[in-house]
Amino acid sequence: MQALVLDNTDGKTLASLKTLTTDDLPAGNVLVDVLWSGLNYKDALAITGKGKIIRNFPMVPGIDFSGTVHHSEDPRFHTGQQVILTGWGVGENHWGGLAQQARVNSEWLVPLPDGLDPRKAMIIGTAGFTAMLCVMALEDGGVTPQSGEVLVTGASGGVGSTAVALLKALGYRVVAVSGRESNEAYLKALGAERVLPRSEFSADARPLEKQVWAGAIDTVGDKVLAKVLAQMDYNSTVAACGLAGGYLLPTTVMPFILRNVRLQGVDSVMTPQTRRQEAWKRLAQLLPESFYHQAATEISLDKAAEVAAALLENKVTGRTLVKVR
């Protein structure tokens, strides 16, 4: 079987396509024939070596995949069953989805819900799953379609674009923030009513600014998130899941103590199984057919390293789908 393998020589990460056997795979109680994987921001950091994602080499990257069960020692899964895997450190410290087979722990697998096929599941991928968790965080915070406009930052990215589509499907009025003017039509087609330039959110924020947003999903962090927080309505919620613009947060306590703003962190890696299954079920129900046509670029395994570099240069729009077999 073919696998993208990362090695480390003199502190440099080298990615190459190799032929492996099933015996090379790490321990686990389910062997999956991988059909589709995705290329996420974290994968791009791992593959290029630009982020300290991987500590033990050799490593097969790929933090998400879909496929069919080849063999299972857990009676809850049977041969031929379609499954999804995202998170749990797979592709970081356990060999991941950018290979034609993966051996994993059955506790990490989600049975493919009705309404999805393995390709659609990976168009959604970790990014879309995270977007759903962010929407659920806004719902938990009491944000409804009647509350007002909801902002999505880093909107052209995998998380942002799915968040726009999900919010639209739920009846929210969505405003997208993007650094790419050329993506305005794309974002409006996904469901954004308006698209604001990222430059409007890049300047230093005052502690409190005019109240504009009933909810926000932030994939960017740093000054952009600080600006968003300063503009939130009284009693609103921000779901923060990303750091595409940096990991700092130059803000003050003012939005929290004077406007009752709730900042909810979102992690998709260790999400408990029940919430995972609920999120996947809702994704299957909510995303319109058009989403699967608009938001994905398909590549083969041998192109993964090249596209990873382009992704870090912000030259990729939406999800990158890797056809593994």
Contact positions vs ligand NDP (CB under 6 A):
40-42, 126-127, 130, 154-160, 178-180, 183, 198, 219-220, 224, 241-245, 266-269, 311, 314
Q: 98 or 244: whose CB is closer to ligand NDP?
A: 244
Q: How many residues does the chain have?
A: 325
The nearest distance, CB 164 to ligand NDP, in angstroms, is: 10
The nearest distance, CB 270 to ligand NDP, in angstroms, is: 9
* E-strand stretches of the chain: 2-9, 12-19, 30-39, 64-72, 82-86, 101-104, 109-111, 149-152, 173-178, 192-197, 213-218, 232-240, 262-265, 296-300, 319-323
The nearest distance, CB 297 to ligand NDP, in angstroms, is: 11
Q: 141 or 242: whose CB is closer to ligand NDP?
A: 242
Q: Judging by DSSP bridges, how do beta strands 213-218 and 232-240 pair with one another? A: parallel
Instruction: Tokens 């097969």: give the residue.
Output: 60
Q: 15 or 159: whose CB is closer to ligand NDP?
A: 159
The nearest distance, CB 321 to ligand NDP, in angstroms, is: 13
Q: 111: Cβ–Cβ under 8 A, 6 or more apart, which residues?
A: 77, 81, 82, 83, 84, 277
The nearest distance, CB 178 to ligand NDP, in angstroms, is: 3
The nearest distance, CB 82 to ligand NDP, in angstroms, is: 22
Q: 103 or 198: whose CB is closer to ligand NDP?
A: 198
> Cβ-closest residue to ligand NDP?
157
H/E run at residue 305: helix 304-312
Q: 66 or 178: whose CB is closer to ligand NDP?
A: 178
CA atoms of 304 and 41, how far apart (whole Å): 12
The nearest distance, CB 44 to ligand NDP, in angstroms, is: 7
- If phi over 0 gives left and psi between -120 and 50 gives alpha, with beta otherwise, what is residue 88? left
Q: 218 or 233: whose CB is closer to ligand NDP?
A: 218
Are the C-beta atoms of residues 160 and 175 closer than 8 Å to each other? no
CA atoms of 173 and 188, how far apart (whole Å): 11
CA atoms of 201 and 125, how far apart (whole Å): 28
Q: 25 or 155: whose CB is closer to ligand NDP?
A: 155
Instruction: Tokens 């791009």: give the residue.
Output: 44
The nearest distance, CB 239 to ligand NDP, in angstroms, is: 10
Q: How many CA atoms lie within 13 A of 248 on its CB side?
A: 7
First to last CA, the chain: 9
The nearest distance, CB 285 to ligand NDP, in angstroms, is: 21
CA atoms of 133 and 268, how far apart (whole Å): 7
Q: 74 or 149: whose CB is closer to ligand NDP?
A: 149
Q: 30 or 134: whose CB is closer to ligand NDP?
A: 134
* Bridge partners of residue 215, in order along the sequence: 150, 237
